[in-house]
Amino acid sequence: MPFPLTHSVFHVPGSLNALVRNVRLARRTAYRTPLRLALVLALASSAAPIAASPAHAVVGGSSALGNTAVVRLVNGSSVCSGALWTSRIVVTAAHCVVDSSGSVTSAPISVYAPGVNILQSPQTVTQSSVITVDGWQKRGDFSQADDIAFVILASELAGASISRLATTDEISAWRREGRIVTFLGYGRTSPSGSSSAVPNLISQPLSALPTWPGGFTATQTATTGICSGDSGGPVITQVANQVVLIGVNSAASGPCSPSTQPSMTGFTPAAYPELVRRALELTNVTALPTITTGSALGITTTSAYLNATAVGNNLLTTTSFTYGVQPDLSGASITVDAAQVTGATATSIEVAIANLMPGTKYYFRANATNLAGTVSGAIAQFTTLGGIPTVLSGTASSVGSDSAVLSGTVNANTVASQAFFQYSRAADFSTLDGTITAGDVVGSETATLTANLSRLEPGATYYWRIAATNAAGTTVGDTRTFTTPVFKARSSRTTTALINALLIDRSGITKTVVVPSAKSRLQCAVNSTTKRLTFTRSGTCRVKITITRAGVTTSGNYNLAIR
């Protein structure tokens, strides 16, 4: 059975006020069949004797005198409660703002100052407009869909203590954990009593009972809970130092409407973003958040901190950053969540991003989303440190008929790099004869690297280059060449000519000794008189060349092809 509503009625027809206008959003919501929950909830408005079972009054609670989240509403013969969200916006139940036909009233609705004893504080304001779901109409004394209204006050009520609206995600999480929340209202404090002159409160757990879309439920007992006159009263919770409005009371069963499973149902403003936005607009309050993209800080080769400033503009606002390598952030981009902000003060937000490409220009912007919509800041940019390695092909040296030594330099540009040499007999490197890894290079200093080639073809021209790769990319050095020598039979070379042919550095040499191996005596020999190396017949002459430079002696073995 549907829950009975929780307002109070002492029917006194009100006069039309031509200055009062009703504002309804141009969104039509189909009304749904009331939920069958085996629970009975009564409307929570209050009045003189009430025919329907009351359902919204704080029975078994305690005084909330001075609590500025709650106000008392009087609509003709109907007494309700409301949540003072801002100084000019009261959130209440839609059934609290209707006339005798069930339609949204055009008569004045009196609203008392928040948290007062109404017998000692007669000052009231009236509405300038009422916002409900378009076409909403009260259809009886039991719960129905979309029972929520925003009353826009003609003048301010000072002292509102509600910091922000709870999000639907927060409410879902709180329902799952059975969070204890606070119910406030000016309703009856006993089933047979009259509406209270002071607000009262009670703490009860949210429940996961099925409810209307946009609604929530909470547990009551047969002796404690909301009652008649508490319709529209706030359901709040404390989050850090913020008073957060979960929603407003709508209908209930319990102390004022007996049930085998006492419970209440309410509706949350966060489920009605269009109404929220319109209410803020009508009070000249900016609903959309504002966001200003800042700069990137702490930039490394693969990470950075992005920052911005955001203003929630009275609504809980979620911020994020979107970044990528395209100037307009099209294509592959990444969005990471940042902080949540509230209130009307600019708040700094920051998020760390990682796994970036070194030496790469990135573009980013900050985003902010609340109930009113999403906005994005300007696109900014930064470039990660480091970059692709810098390489320079050096020289080929000690070029024997089947071997050579290659050299080159690599600067890793702060990004760990791997260097290698490529060599080929094809000028375009379309077919490689080999690739030799030269080693790893780190830091920002230039390193000189070498590679020993072997098993080369005698008399062939080889093209070669140094290259290096890192997380930022690959750099290929310029192409150099060398030709492996072939010596003619029955010819000879002086020591100097031999060193030149083998591309051995001649600088600083003080002594050179050339000694053929024992196995090469038939192919070559050193003339004892001329000191020339003579090549006698085809084959391979293997020689050991020992060079002295500045007192330092080095040697190498070379295979020399003879044809």
Amino acid code (one letter) for 83: A
Which pLDDT does position 8 carry in this prediction?
Answer: 59
Half-sphere exposure of 162 (CA within 13 A, CB side): 34
Q: Which domains are delineated in the chain?
A: 1-24+37-285 (2.40.10.10), 290-383 (2.60.40.10), 390-483 (2.60.40.10), 486-562 (2.60.40)
- 495 contacts 511 by C-beta, under 8 angstroms: no
pLDDT digits (tens, 9 = 90+) for 354-368: 999 888 899 999 999
Which pLDDT does position 287 carry in this prediction?
Answer: 77
pLDDT at position 33 over 60: no
pLDDT digits (tens, 9 = 90+) for 284-333: 877 789 999 999 999 988 899 999 999 988 788 999 999 999 999 998 89
pLDDT bin (cut points 50, 70, 90) of residue 59 is: confident
Query: How far, CA to CA in Å, does 102 sit from each of 35, 95, 97, 98, 138?
Result: 20, 8, 9, 5, 4
Interior/surface letters 25-43, b for 16+ CB within 10 angstroms, e for the rest: beeebeeeebbebebbbbb
Model pTM?
0.62
Which pLDDT does position 2 carry in this prediction?
Answer: 62
pLDDT at position 417 over 70: yes
Tokens 């503009």 belong to 313
pLDDT digits (tens, 9 = 90+) for 204-244: 999 988 889 999 999 998 888 999 999 999 999 999 888 99
Which pLDDT does position 15 carry in this prediction?
Answer: 28
Residue 161 vs residue 3, higher pLDDT: 161
Tokens 């981009």 belong to 333
pLDDT at position 352 over 90: yes
Query: How far, CA to CA in Å, does 291 sit from each of 20, 307, 343?
Result: 36, 11, 13
Beta strands in 161-280 (DSSP E): 164-165, 180-185, 200-207, 215-219, 234-239, 242-253, 263-267
| 464 vs 484: CA distance, rounded Å | 13
Give the mean model confidence (pLDDT) for residues 270-283. Answer: 91
Give percent of the chain with pLDDT exceeding 90. 69
| 233 vs 254: CA distance, rounded Å | 16
Give the mean model confidence (pLDDT) for residues 449-459. Answer: 97
- 398 contacts 404 by C-beta, under 8 angstroms: yes
pLDDT digits (tens, 9 = 90+) for 358-401: 888 999 999 999 888 899 999 999 999 888 999 999 999 999 99
